[in-house]
Each structure stands twice: as structure tokens, then as C-alpha cells.
Amino acid sequence: MDVFVARQPIFNRHKKIYAYELLFRTGMNNAFPNFDGDTATSSLLSSSFFTVGIEQISGGKVVFINFTEELLLQGTPTMFPPGNIMVEVLENVNPGDNVIAACEELVAKGYDLALDDFVFTEAWRPLVNLAKIIKIDFRLTGLQEIEEIVAIAKPYHCRLLAEKIETYEEFLQAKSMGFSYFQGYFFSKPEVLKNKDIPSSQLSYFQLITEVSKAEFSVSSLERLINQDVSVSFKLLKYLNSAYFSRLQPISSIRQAIAFLGERGVRQFVSLIAASKLSESKPTELIRISIIRARFLEQVAIDLKEENSSDFFMLGLFSLLDAMLDNSMEHLMAQLPLTESVKNALTKRQGRMFLFLLAIEQYEVGGWDNFDQTTIAIGLDQGKVTGFYLDAVGWADSFQ
């Protein structure tokens, strides 16, 4: 059975990563409704903790995992370390005496509880008293109802998490209402979408990206540019001496680093570091997701024997460039020497390359129906997807 494990970030009020929610699916058929929640969560826990290794996919953060009523009553969460997981109590759980007793036992053992897609009734009050976090879906819950839940939760020690936050306006609104945590893709869209000049502090990095994006560039010129930037030099040497490469002998000079990586590797590294500099004022998850996408799409392209896998790397890396620079993708692509296929995928969301981008986008959010259709369209073997994704996550973490 192929087990898919994706993750969705959860942010604090400062747009820093607080945790990840793990998303689950098995095989070519949707996990729901063809699989019951008990099977889904059991498979997720097995694959995450026993097969994959929770550290690899969590990046050292807490992970939110859904638990059904049956799994709560069975004490399934206690099979795993309390410091690693947030036990999500699903909205369809019956908050009866048995469930309350099971949750009290979990809290006594050091586990934290989150109430998922919360809608208040008196029957839930004992669990509100136990919970660390209450999650409210901003797409499904009216503003007045949200305000009522906020008022109900205020006397308790729990914090509020806003789900399905898709715009910065919604983020600011939830923040003003007292929410502490936020889940959704508000961070991946421009705060202000308008054509404007790139700030001078970012211009040199944008020019560096432009240089390495060319079909041919001067290695000696690139060495000089890297040597002139202490931050880029440091990151390059740190990266090559990280555990990802498991080198016996350290690399101590930029020239050695360039020789080790080769032209393609240098192009990719410089693009990554420059892109991360462009997004320094944004959530770090923005560049992390870009790096994961770049690595994932490159591996898929290689596996499918696409003509130029480097183009797919750039496709993933620049897929959130508009959000990094608060500018339109059309304006930014006009300034970069990328292929028309990459530009069409990013600006018009058209063409074969766009299907590759769509595949990773749907995987990230657990949009399994669209993911199935897209992988079939491009001919991707779904049995390889999780391996590609976890490799990309590990690769992205080596830059942190």
C-alpha cells in the first residue's frame, strides 16, 4: 500500500512556524470516504513514526494528528511521545463521559489536545477546559459565531487557531480577534499585488538570480560575486558541510565549493540563497516550500525523462516569487531569462509544465482528487511520490 504523507504549516502571530498538520492518504483511491478515520490515522501514525521517521517530516516541530473517537477510547495517542504530537479531537466525536475521561487521562500524561473545526455546544465545555488549542474554520464559520466562540473560550487556558486563512486581510482580522495561531495559505500570496520597483536592498539578489538563470554564465564571475557576499559564502560552505552530504573532508573555500557542486549545482544553490534573501521579510515557510517544490519537481522531471529538469527546478523555486516580492508574477517573469514554458506555467497557469506545478500544489493541501487526475495526466507513478517529497523536505531542511 502506498502511503502519502503531506504537511500543512501552522503559524504563530509573528508568521513563524509553530507546527505542522499531517495530511494522509493511501494509494490511488481517496482515503475518504473509502477509508474510515481509524484506518487513516493508524496508517498515518505507522508511516510517520515507524517508517518515515517523524523528525524527517516534522522538521523538529510539533505535528497535529486527527484522532477519531475509537482511537481516543483505545488510548492510541499514548503509543507516541507526548512532546511530538498535538492530539486533534475531530468535530464528529461524541463528547460523552468516556471520551472526556480518555482526554483527561491524556492530558494527565502530558499530551496536548486541539479541538478541530470547533462548533460550541454545552456538551463540549469539559473538553474546552482540557484543550490547549481550539481550531475554527474561517471558511465555514460565520463572523458572529466566531466572536461567540472567542468569548466562550476567553475564561479558559486554551488558545485559538484560525483555519483556512487565505488572505492577509483574514490573517489580520483573526489576529485582531485574539487568535494565536493561523493555518492556511495567506502567506503564499502577495500582500499588495501591484507593479512596483524591487527594493534596493533586494536588487542585488534579484540580479544574482538573473545571472545564474542565463543559459551560460561565467564561473569566475560567479565566484567573485559569492566571495563579495559574506552571507552567501557562509551559507554555501555550511550547506556543503552539512549532514546531508556526509562528507569526510570539509570544504573550506568557495572555489572548492563551486568545483564540488558543478555548474548546475551552483546555479541551483545561488538561486535558492538569493530567493531566500528576497523573502527575508516573509514567513520562512515561504522559501522552504519553494525549495521543496523545486527539488520535488526536478526529481519528477528526471523520473519522467523530461527534456530539461533544471527548468522544473526553477518552476518550483519561483512559484511563490510574487508573494516574496509583493509583485505580480507577470511583472517579475518579464525580467528573468527563463524559458517560455516556465513563464507560461507561472503567469498563465497553462501548458504541460503547469500540470507538474499543480501536482505538488494539490499534494501540499491534500487535494487528492485533483492530485490523482494531474499525476495520471503527466504519467507520474504515485508509488514514488512520497519518496520524492520526503527527499525534498530533507533537502530543504539542510538549508536552514
Virtual torsion, Cα 146, 21, 368, 295, nearest 10 deg: 130
Helix 385-397 to helix 284-303 angle, to the nearest 10 degrees?
Answer: 140
Q: What is the pLDDT of residue 39?
A: 55
Q: What is the pLDDT of residue 247?
A: 64
DSSP assignments along 33-85, one per residue = TTS-HHHHHHHHHIIIIIII-HHHHHTTSEEEEEE-HHHHHHTGGGGS-TTTE
DSSP assignments along 263-312, one per residue = HHHHHHHHHHHHHHHHTTTS-HHHHHHHHHHHHHHHHHHHHTT-S-HHHH
List C-alpha distances in Å: 388 to 41, 55, 376, 393.
Answer: 22, 17, 17, 9
Regarding whether 80 and 221 lie in a shared domain, the answer is no
Assign 93 to helix, strand or coil. Answer: coil
Closest CA to 380 of 292, 297, 294, 293: 297
Regarding whether 16 and 115 lie in a shared domain, the answer is yes
CATH of the domain at 102: 3.20.20.450
Last residue of a domain, one of 188, 215, 248: 188
Tell me phi and psi for residue 198, to 5 degrees: -75, 130
CATH of the domain at 269: 1.10.3210.10
Sign of CA dihedral 281, 282, 283, 285: negative
Neighbouring CB atoms inside 10 A of 42's CB total 18
- Give a yes or no: residue 193 inside a domain: no
Last residue of a domain, one of 188, 211, 241: 188
- CA-derived radius of gyration, the chain: 22
Q: What is the pLDDT of residue 1?
A: 47
Q: In the chain, at which residue ranges do the beta strands (DSSP E only) sit?
A: 3-11, 17-26, 62-67, 85-89, 112-115, 133-137, 159-163, 181-183
Closest CA to 275 of 206, 181, 373, 218: 206
- Give a yes or no: residue 263 inside a domain: yes
- Give a yes or no: residue 277 inside a domain: yes
Regarding whether 360 and 277 lie in a shared domain, the answer is yes
Regarding whether 238 and 159 lie in a shared domain, the answer is no
Regarding whether 243 and 371 lie in a shared domain, the answer is yes
Sign of CA dihedral 75, 81, 83, 88: negative
Q: Tell me how long the chain is.
A: 400
Question: From CA 22, how far away is CA 12, in angstroms rounded?
Answer: 17
- Give a yes or no: residue 314 inside a domain: yes
Regarding whether 31 and 143 lie in a shared domain, the answer is yes
Q: Please give the span between the terminal C-alpha atoms of the chain, in angstroms, as a whole number.
A: 33
Regarding whether 325 and 205 lie in a shared domain, the answer is yes
Domain tally for the chain?
2
The string over 355-389, giving b where at least 16 C-beta atoms fall within 10 Å of a residue's C-beta and e elsewhere, is bbbbbbbbbbebbbeebbebbeebebeeeebbebb
The string over 182-219, giving b where at least 16 C-beta atoms fall within 10 Å of a residue's C-beta and e elsewhere, is bbbbbbbebeeeeeeebeeebeebbebbebbbeeebee
Last residue of a domain, one of 155, 188, 221: 188
Q: The domain containing residue 256 runs over which residues?
A: 200-397
Instruction: Report the greatest alpha carbon distance in the chain.
Output: 71
Q: Return the amino acid letter for 144.
A: Q
Regarding whether 113 and 39 lie in a shared domain, the answer is yes
Regarding whether 128 and 246 lie in a shared domain, the answer is no
Regarding whether 137 and 49 lie in a shared domain, the answer is yes
Low-confidence ranges of the chain (pLDDT < 50): 1, 27-35, 48, 50, 195, 200
Regarding whether 235 and 378 lie in a shared domain, the answer is yes
Closest CA to 298 of 340, 255, 357, 350: 357
